[in-house]
Structure 1
């Protein structure tokens, strides 16, 4: 049963029990009012009076919408209700979003007195609000919370909207498309979902490609998000050289990300942890995944999570993860996660609580927020983060081999030089770039591209300049070989290689063979 149906049944029970104060928490005022009206118009309540007060309309009869009195003030409405509670049994007053419910004040004590009058004659007061209610008032009754629409309720909203526009504009969606769209719309209000659907209809037709377009349009609702930074993608972020095993694995997960999983015990893909040598494409992979999957990319900035005051960091982390659930489907990028979650020497307990929050969310969240976390120094990460079941997979991004270097060289040569490289020259560059990370190759070819720009085009480029640029580049594997070899030794034994798998297993210092991903048909 949906939360809407559950909440409606609970409200019906509370009104039957004549609970004097019913606190109704929701950010969807109109949806809550529809729910209240459904309960009030049931035949067994036909003799019970229901009045509703809003600032815009004053006090009105809930069923007929007829005005009750000329005085449109809240004070006037409460005075009218007080008189009715004394003289009529089983009367109900609904106050919509009244100010000042949070604290012990003259107003909240006035409402409490009104509730006691209602209680004496089987009356009820329903407070519809998106803010907390003073505990002294709430203890006089019961509370309800109306969550955002779930997938089934959202599907009903989408289906009803499409039915209303059949014959008005061409609609190519099947029922499966409507199901996918309803899952993409999770995290928005009913009104926001209708607005997004209306933007599709406004362009004159609804095509099957609009299902993904709906996910991108949803992203525009969330412009200022606590703890999350929206990353705008550029065309240069669309391609990654090498990492063939990782790319094959991601292609399978992309299908699962968009699949209808309602009648299965499966959950959407949770994410991937990329560890390995700095500069080999871990961060770029997050951007490429978002581009290829056509999903918005958000960056969780761990530095912005940490605060100075007790509980501040944990609160920010919780808010950021809740926001990620709301903006889903999306890619959630956590760069250098070890700097935010490494806390073995922290004596305050803050880091451990943040780690606990993050791990619980990874384990329990059902949203389609796909996490791409990167780490250079994986040894500082808490071991529980590496346990199977947190992330879908742990990949090691190593220095590119000769074939990967060729692919990366050709990619960046075309990007910066604006021409196809000579095959013989590529062969020499592949040899010269032994030990290079992808970022080293990019930096060298960026220098070549700058030379081309300064000298008027690729025709003026001397092949010797390209070779000299590569020869004069000192990669990290040469300037700091001990650190790089230590990282590589860790990854060979403990993670799936992100590049091509070798036919023969590589044995590390522990004697264990590296894991290899076997792709199905």
Structure 2
């Protein structure tokens, strides 16, 4: 049953049972009041609502009952009414500090006791918690944000009003995807986003991308995660054919409705391997290609000084990622943030790992995680267990054909004149042992010179010199490369090909293609 319908059914049972105190926990006050208005009219209930802007009014007739808009005045009137009227419900929507033991919360306790004696009910609609002594006098219910089914219904009903006025190209598949994208915002926020499409006089399939962008703009500065700006086509990745094929298969699943098969949306990928070979670039490329917002989670930045602060910040960051879904969440060098599990004397790292594992396993939000690591041995082993990430890929130094593709990408980006096939082949030969970042640096240096003297005036000797001046990690620290390569048999080759490796028991050797 959708969240809204389930909440309405529970509240109805509480009202009919005359529970003396009911709290509705929600950030959508208007939606909660609409639900209560429907119940009051359907069941002919006597319900009065108090707001600071309108005072006390009858929820069914909308008539003003009292001009006194103060909370204390409303509490006094409710107490008088409970003594003279049976089966009355009074709803309060603007109550501050009800989570603490104070004068206001104690007055609510007294009023709830009076309501219990007279068959009345007081109800509080708030996003804040309720003082324990007060909450134990009644029942609590949460009205969460609209789920995907409710969101789809809201979208269909909203756009149906404009069927005869504007061109609507959406079919069932587009409505499903729109609902998936807008899940995580309030109903009024979703309708505001849709209104921006309606004023354009058409709702096309291409505008599904605009829904994600508009949703992203709602959240502004987000707690715990950093928005990374990417544009379609900005970030191209050369090589890594196996990873790219795998991602092509995962993309449509991120916004499909998988509930009929009890499957969760794709959870993400862990990229390990040689530094500078495109792991971080891949995160940006995925967000760019999939036209999804990209957020970066820096685990080090959420670490706090005080007891429990780190865990609270980390939980908030993950909750924020859930709220902005569908999105790509990039965790760079994850081993630095989660290393030390089991050796941290304060236990903070162990608790963060536990939080992260629980979120990876249980969250159904459409957050695609791209985590990168240079040293997978520093990661907690439980993070590598099947079911956490969808898969783990090893990114190695590019081979000749991959280097050619990468060089061509940067030549097109930085230069305005073509390079002959013979020149390109020579650059591929000169770049043996280069990482992707080395190739970018070499071609960028040529680009600077071309900007200075003109593309046609850069001799090929300068091309050769730019590549010769690069000292790749494979030459400066070959032992580090070999150390990282010891982990290759634990992951799928991102290149899509199996390299020559010594056979080991349990080695994972998969070819994608």
Aligned twin of 2:445: 447
Q: Structure 2 vs 1, CA of residues 20 and 64 (structure 1 numbering), >3 Å: closer, same or farther?
A: same
The question of 1:77 aligning with 2:71 is answered no
Range with bigger deviation, 475-484 or 256-265: 256-265
Question: How many pairs does the alignment contain?
Answer: 512
Partner of residue 31, structure 2: 31
Aligned pairs (5 A) from 1:350-369: 350-369=348-367
Deviation of 1:501 (Å): 0.6
Pair 1:121 & 2:115 matched: no
1:494 aligns with 2:484: no
Q: Deviations over 1:299-320 (max 9, x none)?
A: 0111111111111111111111
Answer whether contact 1:237 1:284 (CA < 8 A) is retained: no
CA contact (8 A) 2:284 2:294 kept: yes
Q: Pick the aligned partner of 1:410 from 397, 400, 408.
A: 408
Counterpart-to-counterpart distance in 2, 1:513 and 1:301: 32
State yes or no: 1:240 paired with 2:234.
no
Once the two structures are superposed, the pairs formed by residues 41-440 of structure 1 within 5 Å of their partners are 41-43=41-43, 46=44, 48-234=45-231, 237-344=234-341, 345-440=343-438
1:354-375 CA deviation, whole Å, 9 max, x = no partner? 1111111111111111000000
Which structure 1 residue ranges, 5 or more long, are not aligned?
A: none
Give the TM-score normalised by the residue count of structure 1. 0.95
Aligned-pair distance for 1:418? Answer: 2.3
Distance 1:71 1:320 in 2: 42
Distance (whole Å) between structure 2 residues aligned to residue 370 and residue 221 of structure 1? 20
Matched residues in 1 for 2:408 and 2:65: separation? Answer: 77
Kindly state the Cα deviation for residue 236 of structure 1 after the two structures are TM-superposed: 7.0
Q: Deviations 1:198-217 (Å, cap 9, x if unpaired)? A: 11111110001112221222
Contact 1:14–1:22, Cα closer than 8 Å, also in 2: yes
Secondary structure at the aligned position of 1:220 is classed as: helix
Contact 1:272 1:392 in 2 (8 A): yes
Matched with 2:12 is 12
How far the C-alpha of 1:260 sits from its partner, in A, is: 3.1
Contact 2:233 2:289 in 1 (8 A): no
User: Which deviates the most, 145-154 or 74-83?
Assistant: 74-83
For residues 286-308 of structure 1, give each alpha carbon's deviation from its aligned partner in whole angstroms, at most 9, with x where no partner exists: 01110100100000111111111
2:496/2:512 contact within 8 Å kept: no
Structure 2 distance, partners of 1:412, 1:153, is 47
- 1:314–1:350: 8 Å Cα contact kept in structure 2? yes
1:157-201 Cα deviation digits (max 9, x unpaired) = 001011111111110000221111111111100111101111111
Whether the 8 Å CA contact 1:507–1:514 is kept in 2: the answer is no
Per-residue CA deviations over 1:336-383 (Å, capped at 9, x if unaligned) read: 000111123212111111111111111111111100000011110111
What does residue 515 of structure 1 align with? 509
Instruction: Give 4+ residue runs of structure 1 displaced > 6 Å after superposition.
Output: none
Q: Out of 70-79 and 349-358, give the one that drifted further.
A: 70-79
Q: Tell me the SS of whatever aligns to 1:263.
A: helix
TM-score, normalised to structure 2's length? 0.97
Following the alignment from structure 1 to structure 2, what is the Cα–Cα distance between the partners of residues 70 and 318?
43
Q: Is the 8 A contact 1:244 1:499 kept in 2?
A: yes
Alpha-carbon distance between aligned partners in 1 of 2:206 and 2:78, rounded to the nearest angstrom:
53
CA distance in 1, matches of 2:289, 2:427: 29
Q: Secondary structure at the match of 1:221?
A: helix
Inter-CA distance 280–518: structure 2 relative to 1 (3 Å threshold): closer
Taking structure 1 as reference, are residues 414 and 518 closer, same or farther at Cα in structure 2, changes over 3 Å only?
Answer: closer
